Chains A and B, each alone.
Chain A
Amino acid sequence: MTARVGSRVDGVEESIYKPYNGRIIWMREETPDITTFRVALEEHEVVDSFTSFKPGNFVLASVIGYGEAPFAISSPPSQRGSIEISVKRLGVLTQVLHELCVEDRIGLRGPYGNDFLRGEPKGKNLLFVAGGIGMAPIRSLIHHVLDDRKSYGEITILYGAKSIADIPYKKEFKRWDRMDGVDVVLTVDPGGETPDWDGRIGYVPNILTELNTSPKNCLAFVCGPQIVIKLSAQTLSNWGFKSRDIISTLENRMKCGIGKCGRCNVGHIYVCKHGPVFTYEEIMKMPNSDY
């Protein structure tokens, strides 16, 4: 058991709770309640160690006076020197984050947790299934995969939101859809469509049943509300996907992010430390939904 002092430069004693100074260099209002922030780090000596994260890792972002909360990194590691987080407005901190502008400060602590690459996606066909803000960590992985397109097989992306207005990353979905061997399926919940909507209408797990993706040499990444993960994983299992080839992320409430404060546990598993990326095989071994 090697104890790390903080996550920073070796040998310097620093508080593990001290955030790096980040500054917003770009931001985009994705939907009425989701905004993506691109944050650059001001302390040059830590930029490399911080941005050498892997898709699936998370950070704790904070605003002085309002506290901190965990967010999945939504940008790929290839984007050197900065990271992006996509924040859905839900509480006090996320409200304050939404009021920030370019040049404003965000504190960042991390990156923490394990990553999607543990599923060894290289050389495989990939199926991405996401709902709502669950697209954020998946977006990091999709960009990462497309950075090295030739190393991967067929790619299918299924994404669902409440309504058309609630779909983030719209331009990126369009760009991905134009690429060879990439199939993008967008869906909105019934009632969330407009007459000119050319995507699908229906809940993600229902639309998934229509895709009928072959489990052969395929990895599925599923992220979204608990019900989307549960139902999608069942569908995939029925198709013959092995439970270790279905990969998801659990995003429980966290405070410390490093396995101490206690609240994110599912059974003895600390989502922050052992996760947040788990295979469906691992999830099925966890206590049932009421843990």
Chain B
Amino acid sequence: MVTEKKVIDDEGLNQFVSALIQHGYAVIAPTIKADRVFYGVVEKGSEFVREYSNAQNSPKDFLFPRMEEILRFTDDETVVETFPKAVKRVFLGVRPCDAMAIKHLDKLFNWDYADTHYNKRRGDAVLIGLACNTPKSSCFCTSLGGGLGPHHKKNVDMMLTKLDRSSYLIEAVSELGEALISLLECGVLATSSHDEKALELRENAEKMITKRLNLDETFKVMDDNFDSAYWKTVARKCIGCGICTYLCPTCHCFDIQDEGLFRLRFWDSCQFALYSKHASGHNPRDQPHKRFRNRVYHKFVYFKKNLDEALCVGCGRCKTYCPSKVDIFKIVSEAEAGISEYRSVEIPK
């Protein structure tokens, strides 16, 4: 089957957004809020900013919200199940790294037990990707497996590639995407010269990502050296604020608490001291470096062992927004050298 590809301009993209909204979709795209780029619901196409490396938050916020009601109780002690409203969502302008992150979350929330709340939100949400033409210096998506790269389109339903100042190549990737591309009334059919241009942009973008990580070796080195004093040293800069876990597109730890007659689930962070403290008072991760190490290991070792993927997608948010600029890429890419330097050092208890 030949996938239909079209070329549209900015105005065409705006019309497409309007068509989606008319067809009952909530369109979630990067918009400007307080001078920063955040994913948010847009009412018209022009609110979708197209010049951004990536939004500060990720689509995770809409699939696994910061706080959600999972149960409600009545005064006579009846338990009422509450589910998220069925909303048809389109995520527009999703970078390939964030699309990969959603795939990882899909796996986690359906690992053995299907999480009804996540799945209700995820449902038929449509992902429309926007290829990355100018990755940032903090990006390292190409090292994280699964073919991930700045133009990777396997995890989206439709893909947009910005060809020049105001034209976009738009193509359907999945069946869902095929059905939606029919809403596009404008635009011209793409020719091979458009494809060539897209390929050139892709190659350029891939070249711009200079950070390299050998995922398999990193896994092995880390798996063998959990007790290295290296981890204590590299964690020293971390102040345990948890911003990395909040902005990470794949971090998914949560807490469940009752507030009056509501049972709520909300984000939690493994960087917080009370996160794993037992009722007995014993806290297995009682020191900052243990909590820091847990996050790094979850990304590069634990998730790989359990669900066969690296849980990092190389978006660079954790470094960009870290108040003390803790650089996860630097830490894991230098792990082998760092660990051998600390080989003879005992980790202080």
Contact = CB atoms under 8 A, between A and B. Distances in A.
A256 interface: yes
Contact of A260 (B227, B254, B258, B277): B254
A1 B115 CA distance: 14
Given A6-B116, A16-B115, A260-B113, A290 B258 contact: no
A90 B263 CA distance: 21
B285 interface: yes
Contacts of A270: 306
Contacts, number: 143
A65 B113 contact: no
Contacts of B113: 3-4, 6-7, 16, 258-260
Contacts of B110: 1, 3
B278 A252 contact: yes
Interface in B46-65: none
B73 A64 contact: yes
B196 interface: no
Interface string B273-300: 0011111101011110010001001100
B268 interface: yes
Contacts of B286: 290
Interface in A146-180: none
B25 interface: no
B342 interface: no
A225 to B, nearest CB: 7
A261 B256 contact: yes
Interface in B101-124: 108-117
B114 A16 contact: yes
Nearest to A267: B302
Interface stretch (A66-74, A76-84, A184-192, A210-218): A66-74
A5 B114 contact: yes
A262 B252 contact: yes
A256 B77 contact: no
Contacts of A19: 71, 79
B70 interface: yes
A260 B255 CA distance: 10
A13 B117 CA distance: 11
Contacts of A263: 253, 268, 270, 275-276
A291 B294 CA distance: 8
Interface of A: 1-7, 13-19, 21, 62, 64-69, 88, 90-91, 94, 105, 107, 225-226, 251-253, 255-256, 258-268, 270, 273, 287-291
Given A15-B83, A260-B252, 5 more contacts: A4-B112, A66-B258, A255-B256, A262-B270, A262-B298
Interchain residue pairs A-B with the least CB separation, the first 4: A262-B253, A268-B302, A3-B114, A268-B305
Interface of B: 70-71, 73, 77, 79, 81, 83, 108-117, 226-227, 252-258, 260-261, 263, 265, 268, 270, 275-280, 282, 284-287, 290, 294, 297-298, 301-303, 305-306, 349
